Amino acid sequence: MGQAEIDRAAHVGERLRAIRLERGLTLAQVAAESGLTKGFISQLERGLSSISLSALARVCAVLDVRFGEVLDDRPADKEAVAEAGASGWPFFDRHQDVLLTPREEPRLALLESRLPPGTTAGEELYTFPADREVVYVAAGTLALQIGETLHELRAGETITYSPRDPHTWRNPSATEETVVLWFSVPNPFMPPS
């Protein structure tokens, strides 16, 4: 891991540990309910391991939090976020995500992902708390598995599904970056109210 990845892993780990302790849960409880090992959760909380999107979704479900509560470094000045119009969230192994809508917008979220060749959300299917998600592939190819069905989406193609259904994705190309727009309703990055 490079320094940026180490810093991201430490941030995610610190947030997960703080939320777990707020909830009064042990490492063993989170591990058992998420299907991950106690050792992995411990390494994650200490910033010694990165996490796939599918594993993060399972841990967030156990902790009853949205991704944004774990990933976000919220600026003190909320107006600065709105004025900036976009904010970068580089996380999960190798890909870059940019939230294109204001973080505090509860109704929807538009996220752009740049996925290097071979990037994946993980082999395990995961869910997250939104009612609908529209996926638009702007460049490259995206393999999106929803339940038992694998969808191969090419540049210019769109699919709509419920992210509450178990799913995962990957960039199947060995050479091309994939650019994807994810439009979710409501915003899955907002903390529960």
Please report the pLDDT score of residue 129 as a whole number: 81
Domains in the chain with CATH codes: 3-70 (1.10.260.40), 77-185 (2.60.120.10)
Please report the pLDDT score of residue 101 as a whole number: 79
Please report the pLDDT score of residue 175 as a whole number: 96
Instruction: Give me the sheet containing 149-154, strands edge to edge.
Output: 149-154, 141-146, 167-170
Burial string for 86-96 (b: 16+ CB within 10 Å, else e) reads ebebebbbebb
Please report the pLDDT score of residue 152 as a whole number: 97
Please report the pLDDT score of residue 87 as a whole number: 42
Please report the pLDDT score of residue 85 as a whole number: 39
Q: Is 75 helix (H, G, I), strand (E, B) or coil?
A: coil
Please report the pLDDT score of residue 157 as a whole number: 94
Please report the pLDDT score of residue 82 as a whole number: 36
Q: Which whole-number Å values give the CA distances from 13 to 5, 50, 126, 171, in the listed order?
A: 12, 9, 19, 26
SS3 content of the chain, % helix, strand, coil (to 5): 30, 25, 40
Q: At what angle do helices 38-45 and 3-22 cross, to 10 degrees?
A: 110
Which stretches of the chain score pLDDT less than 70?
A: 1-9, 67-68, 71-95, 190-193
Q: How far apart are CA 132 and CA 103, in angstroms?
A: 18
Q: How far apart are CA 106 and CA 109, in angstroms?
A: 8
